[in-house]
Structure 1
Amino acid sequence: MNFLSGIICLCLTWLLIQALHVISRSKAIPKRLPPGPTPFPLIGNLLELGDKPHKSLAKLSEVHGPIMSLKLGQVTTVVISSGAMAKEVLQIHDQHLSNRTIPDALRAHRHDEFSLPFIPVSTRWRNLRKICTEQIFSNKTLDAYQAIRHKKVQDLLADTHQSSLNGEAVDVGRAAFKTTLNLLSTTIFSVDLADPNSDTAREYKEIVWNVMKEIGRPNLADYFPVLKNMDPQRVRHRLAIHFGKILELFDRMRAHPLRAVPIPV
Structure 2
Amino acid sequence: MRKVFVREMLSGRNLDACYDLRRDEVEKAIEYINRQVGTAIDIGELTFLTEMNVIMSMLWGGTLEADQQNKVGAEFRKVFAKMLRLLSKPNISDFFPILARFDIQGIEKQGKALLQIVEEIFDAVINERVKIVEDEIKNAGKKKDSIHILLELEKQEVDGVKINMRQLKAIMMDIVIEGPTPQPLWLS
Q: Is the 8 A contact 1:152 1:182 kept in 2?
A: yes
Assess if the C-alpha contact under 8 Å between 1:214 and 1:239 holds in 2. Answer: yes
Distance 2:110 2:31 in 1: 39
1:219 aligns with 2:113: no
Which residue identity is paired with 1:147?
D
Whether contact under 8 Å (2:53, 2:73) holds in the other structure is: no
Q: CA offsets, 1:97-145, max 9 Å, x none?
A: xxxxxxxxxxxxxxxxxxxxxxxxxxxxxx42x2232122221211111
Secondary structure, counterpart of 1:256 in structure 2: helix
Higher relative contact order (CA 8 A, sep 6+): 2
Q: Cα offset for 1:184?
A: 1.0
**How much does 1:205 deviate?**
2.4
- In structure 1, the partner of 2:54 is 183
Question: Greater Rg, structure 1 or structure 2?
Answer: 1
Q: Counterpart amino acid of 1:160? A: I
**Alignment partners' CA distance in 2, 1:252 and 1:179:** 23
In structure 2, what is the equivalent of residue 238 of structure 1? Answer: 110
| Superposed displacement of residue 186, structure 1 | 1.0
Aligned-residue identity in percent:
21
Q: By percentage of residues, which structure has more strand?
A: 1
Given the superposition, is the C-alpha separation of residues 242 and 192 from structure 1 closer, same or farther in structure 2, using an over 3 Å criterion?
farther
Structure 2 counterpart of 1:200, from 72, 81, 90: 72
* Contact persistence 2:26–2:50 (CA under 8 A): yes
Size of the alignment, in residue pairs?
A: 132
Mark the CA change 1:252 to 1:242 in structure 2 (over 3 Å): closer, same or farther. Answer: same
Q: What TM-score results when the alignment is normalised by the length of structure 1?
A: 0.44
Q: CA RMSD in A?
A: 2.8
Counterpart secondary structure, 2:101: coil
What SS does the aligned partner of 1:221 have?
A: helix
Please give the secondary structure, in 2, of the residue aligned with 1:168: coil
Deviation track 1:47-99 (CA, whole Å, cap 9, x = no partner) reads xxxxxxxxxxxxxxxxxxxxxxxxxxxxxxxxxxxxxxxxxxxxxxxxxxxxx
Conserved? CA contact 1:221–1:227, under 8 Å: yes
Residue in 1 that maps onto 2:16: 143
Gaps of 5+ in 1: 1-126
- Shift in CA distance, 198/145, structure 1 to aligned 2, threshold 3 Å: closer
Post-superposition shift, 1:261? 8.7
The amino acid of 2:116's aligned partner reads G
Structure 1: distance between partners of 2:89 and 2:65:
29
Deviations 1:200-228 (A, max 9, x none): 33322222222112111111111111111
The answer as to 2:154 corresponding to 1:154 is no
Q: Give the TM-score normalised by the residue count of structure 2.
A: 0.61
Contact 2:56–2:73 (CA under 8 A) maintained in structure 1? no
Quote the Cα distance in structure 2 between the aligned partners of 1:186 and 1:202. 13
